Amino acid sequence: MKTAFMVLLGIIACMASIVGTAFFGFKMYEYFTPKYTAVDNKVFHESQQYNDGMVRDLQNLKMQYDSATPSAKDALRSTIIHRFSIYPVDRMPANLQIFYSELLK
């Protein structure tokens, strides 16, 4: 009887440690995932490929705006302002900074 109780107690202790370890792992994942994601996001936004791609997209939008008719310019204006607002102004080339400031007037 005593050995059966000890075996049952050992099984319960083993299951409790497994559940505890799983719960601790979940809590660690819950705590560190936002931090990993923030670092990944920062690294992505500072990468050369992202910056080159954004500048290229903004320059393409500027070229579309410059070649558009006056009615099309009104339609493009809000889209262009939104796309420019996503990217930091201090990272834009001077011609895009001037273009963006003129659109905001």
pLDDT for 5 equals 84
Question: Please, what's the b/e burial string for 86-97 (b: 16 or more CB within 10 A of its CB; e: otherwise)?
Answer: ebeeeebeeebe
Rg (CA), the chain: 28
Question: 57: closest CA among 90, 82, 75?
Answer: 82
Tens-binned pLDDT, residue by residue, of the chain (105 aa): 788 888 889 999 999 999 999 999 999 999 999 999 999 999 998 899 999 999 999 999 999 999 999 888 988 998 999 999 999 999 999 999 999 999 988
Left if phi > 0, otherwise alpha if psi is -120 to 50, otherwise beta: which for 69? beta
pTM to 2 decimal places: 0.66
The confidence score (pLDDT) of residue 4 equals: 85
